Homo-oligomer: A and B are copies of this chain.
Amino acid sequence: MNTTSLLTALQWRYATKQFDATRKIDAETWNAIEESLILTPSSFGLQPWKFIVVGDPAIRSELRAASWNQPQVTDASHLVVLTTRTDLTQSDIDAWINRMAEVQGCPTENFAPLAGMISGFSSSMSADARRAWNSRQVYIALGQLMTTAAMLNIDTCPLEGIDPAAYDRSLGLENSGYATVVACALGFRDPADKYAAAPKARFDRSRVIEHVGKA
Contact = CB atoms under 8 A, between A and B. Distances in A.
13 contacts: A3-B28, A45-B201, A50-B207, A52-B211, A52-B212, A55-B212, A99-B202, A103-B199, A104-B201, A135-B136, A138-B139, A140-B140, A144-B146
A174 to B, nearest CB: 15
A125 interface: no
A213 B54 contact: yes
A30 to B, nearest CB: 7
Contacts of A49: 208
Interface of A: 1, 3, 5-7, 9-11, 13, 15, 28-32, 34-41, 43, 45, 47, 49-57, 59, 78, 95-96, 99-100, 103-105, 132, 135-148, 151-152, 158, 160, 171, 198-205, 207-215
Secondary structure type dominating chain A contacts: helix
Contact of A143 (B5, B40, B54, B215): B40
A118 to B, nearest CB: 11
B53 A211 contact: yes
